[in-house]
């Protein structure tokens, strides 16, 4: 699949999307709702960028501001160097051709079969019927549904419907793909297959993908970068591996440490969270530390996660009550290049 639509002439060294101080407010019944509050983000070409937060955090509002389906109350959204607020309606429609979108509930045309669903945006764009059909057949191969061309959406599984929606979104060779809770209606195994497909599309065609989700597991599985929204504000942003290893804000910590059991034990004194990389997992660090300081530690939690294709282990340890011994153990772990952070006070 070639990326034939060149409306966005992107400088590869700069962001493909720049969001600057974006605020969105809604007024109703003499009250004002602040859906977004001074959000600023840079998203580079080729990123798989996650935007995460709980319900009501402002995620869907932000994604709709990215293509100006919602106009920000203040601030600017620049796509491919173009300030969307300064475009005419005709120019905006043209730019939107390069910003495709897929949704939680697929939004397929139920009265049309699979290939006609994919052809629909192509015919609207003025492509001839024969050429549109050929393009749709290519897209069905990309998403692994070449044998479903004549099938109707009601005959498909949820995962197959989302694959059709992805094929349709790719029809006009977009530079950017917005995914608004695209896996929320799917079971875990189907979610993994859809995320693998999106990752493959990103790698093969260089399409920038923005994932809107409330699930940290989705971000960890596929995203290179993440922005965490809380109550309309940007709480934290950066590389996924950095935020997983050392979340700086309470909102980030709650998402990284999203297990209720972990949250409960963090009120103990001298609890630390350590993160192992592949390189650090071969040495029996904890055992050696116990032998070194002749003092036991309590392992409260241990797990391994897949962070964008790389295994990362984590543990939560309760260190000895003696302050001097606890601090020496923390230094010991840091000297061995482990990410170490104290976890007291993560939750109210």
Say whether both 246 and 262 belong to one domain: no
Q: What is the pLDDT of residue 93?
A: 87
- What are 139-148's contacts with CB under 8 Å, separation 24+? 139/1, 139/167, 139/168, 139/170, 139/171, 140/114, 140/115, 140/167, 142/1, 142/167, 142/170, 142/201, 143/167, 143/197, 144/197, 145/114, 148/114
Say whether both 32 and 112 belong to one domain: yes
Q: What is the pLDDT of residues 87-137, one digit of tens each?
A: 999 899 888 888 999 888 888 889 999 999 999 988 888 888 999 999 999
Say whether both 318 and 269 belong to one domain: yes
Q: What is the pLDDT of residue 279?
A: 56
Which two structure tokens, joined as six digits, stand for 63? 């994604």
- Give the whole-angstrom CA distance, residue 79 versus residue 81: 5
Tell me, yes or no, whether 321 lies in a domain.
Answer: yes
Angle 158-169/114-124 helices, nearest 10 degrees?
Answer: 20
Q: Which of 250, 265, 282 delimits the end of a domain?
A: 250
Q: What is the pLDDT of residue 181?
A: 86
Q: What is the 3-state secondary structure (H, E, C) of 104-171?
A: CCCCCCCCCCHHHHHHHHHHHCCCCHHHHHHHHHHHHHHCCCHHHCCCCHHHCCHHHHHHHHHHHHCC
- Give the whole-angstrom CA distance, residue 217 versus residue 241: 13
Percentage of the chain beyond pLDDT 70 is: 89
Q: CA-CA distances (angstroms) from residue 130 to 122, 126, 133?
A: 11, 12, 5
Domain span at residue 200 reads 15-250
Which two structure tokens, joined as six digits, stand for 135? 């393009």
Q: CA-CA distances (angstroms) from residue 273 to 73, 84, 301, 313?
A: 41, 43, 9, 11
Tell me, yes or no, whether 8 lies in a domain.
Answer: no
Q: What is the pLDDT of residues 52-77, one digit of tens each?
A: 988 888 898 998 999 899 999 999 99
**Strand bridging mode 225-230 / 48-52:** parallel
Q: CATH code at 278?
A: 3.30.70.260
Tell me, yes or no, whether 301 lies in a domain.
Answer: yes
**Cβ(104)–Cβ(185) under 8 Å?**
yes
Say whether both 187 and 237 belong to one domain: yes
Tell me, yes or no, whether 4 lies in a domain.
Answer: no
Which two structure tokens, joined as six digits, stand for 152? 């109707």
Tell me, yes or no, whether 348 lies in a domain.
Answer: no
Task: Find the Cα–Cα–Cα–Cα dihedral 77, 221, 254, 258, rounded to 10°.
Answer: 150
Ramachandran angles phi, psi of 272, nearest 5°:
-130, 155
Q: What is the pLDDT of residue 300?
A: 83
**Cβ(219)–Cβ(211) under 8 Å?**
yes
Number of domains in the chain: 2
Rounded to 5 degrees, what angle do the CA atoms 204, 210, 216 make?
110
Q: How far apart are the first and last CA of the chain?
A: 50
Tell me, yes or no, whether 113 lies in a domain.
Answer: yes
Say whether both 202 and 268 belong to one domain: no
For the chain, 348 residues long, give each residue's pLDDT as a single digit of tens: 554 444 444 444 579 999 999 999 998 777 888 899 999 999 999 999 999 988 888 898 998 999 899 999 999 999 999 999 999 998 998 888 889 998 888 888 899 999 999 999 888 888 889 999 999 999 999 999 989 999 999 998 999 999 999 999 998 899 999 998 888 878 888 888 999 999 999 999 999 999 999 888 889 889 999 999 999 999 999 999 888 888 888 888 888 776 444 545 555 567 888 887 655 555 688 888 999 888 888 888 888 777 877 777 888 888 888 888 988 999 998 888 888 888 764 444
Ramachandran angles phi, psi of 60, nearest 5°:
-70, -35
Per DSSP, 247 falls in state -
Say whether both 294 and 230 belong to one domain: no
Q: CATH code at 199?
A: 3.40.50.300
Q: Is 14 helix (H, G, I), strand (E, B) or coil?
A: coil
- Give the whole-angstrom CA distance, residue 127 versus residue 171: 11
């Amino acid at each position: 699949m070639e990326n034939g639509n060149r409306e966005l002439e992107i400088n590869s060294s700069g962001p493909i999307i720049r969001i600057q101080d974006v605020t969105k407010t809604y007024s109703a019944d003499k009250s004002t709702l602040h859906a977004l509050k001074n959000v600023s983000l840079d998203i580079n070409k080729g990123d798989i960028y996650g935007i995460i937060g709980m319900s009501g955090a402002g995620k869907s509002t932000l994604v709709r501001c990215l293509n100006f389906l919602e106009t920000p109350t203040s601030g600017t959204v620049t796509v491919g160097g173009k300030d969307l607020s300064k475009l005419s309606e005709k120019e905006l429609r043209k730019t939107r051709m390069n910003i495709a979108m897929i949704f939680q509930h697929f939004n397929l045309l139920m009265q049309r079969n699979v290939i006609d669903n994919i052809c629909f945006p192509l015919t609207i764009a003025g492509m001839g019927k024969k050429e549109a059909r050929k393009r749709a057949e290519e897209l069905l191969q990309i998403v692994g549904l070449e044998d479903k061309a004549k099938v109707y959406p009601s005959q498909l599984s949820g995962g197959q419907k989302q694959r059709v929606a992805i094929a349709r979104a790719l029809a006009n060779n977009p530079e950017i793909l917005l995914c608004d809770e695209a896996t929320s209606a799917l079971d875990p195994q189907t979610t993994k297959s859809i995320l693998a497909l999106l990752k493959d599309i990103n790698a093969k065609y260089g399409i920038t993908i923005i994932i809107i989700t409330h699930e940290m597991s989705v971000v960890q599985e596929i995203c290179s970068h993440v922005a965490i929204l809380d109550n309309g504000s940007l709480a934290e942003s950066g590389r996924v591996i950095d935020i997983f290893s050392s979340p700086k804000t309470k909102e980030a910590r709650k998402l990284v440490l999203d297990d209720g059991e972990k949250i409960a034990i963090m009120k103990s004194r001298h609890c630390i969270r350590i993160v192992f990389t592949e390189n650090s997992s071969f040495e029996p660090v904890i055992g050696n530390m116990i032998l070194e300081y002749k003092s036991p530690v309590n392992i409260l939690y241990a797990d391994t996660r897949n962070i964008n294709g790389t295994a990362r282990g984590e543990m939560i340890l309760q260190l000895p009550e003696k302050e001097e011994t606890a601090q020496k153990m923390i230094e010991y772990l840091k000297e061995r290049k482990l990410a170490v952070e104290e976890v007291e006070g993560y939750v109210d």
